[in-house]
Amino acid sequence: MTSRTPCPCGLPESYEECCGRFHGGAAAAPTAERLMRSRYTAFVRLDAAYLLRTWHPRTRPARLDLDPGTRWTGLKILAAEAGSAFHSTGTVTFRASFRGGSLHERSRFERVDGAWVYVDGEFLD
């Protein structure tokens, strides 16, 4: 039985039905926006392995140290350009809120071997 608590990414499905299947490897995110949402959820759940696995090899850091003290409180997608099954690149502009502030970023995504990966991001304010 899956929980009915909505996924941290902001979509109404439970974590298991939503981002959990991407984190566990049962499915790949079908769009750049869904990858962005699943990466936000990985930050919430301190899943550094998923974040590194979905980072472009060209820009991926050697390691990722996540701060367990950061309390992520919400994600709002502000814009998504391209990034569908018909594209090879895409951008997602979002605001990720945490206790004490927020992060406003335009992230770039590309397909590598058919799978969406995060390339880099530009902080907007």
Q: How far apart are the first and last CA of the chain?
A: 41
Contacts of 13 (CB under 8 A, 6+ apart): 6, 7
pTM of the model: 0.95
**pLDDT confidence bin for 1, thresholds 50/70/90:** very low
pLDDT tens string 71-111: 999 999 999 999 999 999 999 999 999 999 999 999 999 99
